[in-house]
Amino acid sequence: MELRRLENMMEQFVFAEIHRALSNDGLCGCDDCALDVSALALNNLSAKYVTSHAGELFNRAESSRSEDRVAVIAEIQRAINKVRHRLPHD
């Protein structure tokens, strides 16, 4: 069984929003900061797994509901507020 054919749609949503959220807040959007905030946000979101068949995501339509996106944006904001003090760095 290939584990990489299992994808958490919430990761896609977080990665789609993270850089915009960081720059809206005037915060650093480097990979380290973006990944730190993404990890915090994803820990507070329920995973939503889909399978990919020959590269196509199965069930994508059902899993891309706008309420998921709203939840993702809220969790990103919460994560940013939690680590805001240590995000600015050289």
What is the binding site for Zn ion (CB under 5 A)? 28, 30, 33
For residues 39 and 83, the answer to whether their CB atoms sit within 8 Å is no
Between CA 4 and CA 71 the distance in angstroms is 25
CB of 19 to Zn ion, least distance (A): 11
For residues 27 and 88, the answer to whether their CB atoms sit within 8 Å is yes
Task: For Zn ion, give the closer residue by CB, 28 or 73.
Answer: 28
Structure tokens that stand for 77 in this block: 């904001």
Task: For Zn ion, give the closer residue by CB, 29 or 73.
Answer: 29
Helix (H, G, I), strand (E, B), or coil: what is residue 14? Answer: helix
Task: For Zn ion, give the closer residue by CB, 28 or 40.
Answer: 28
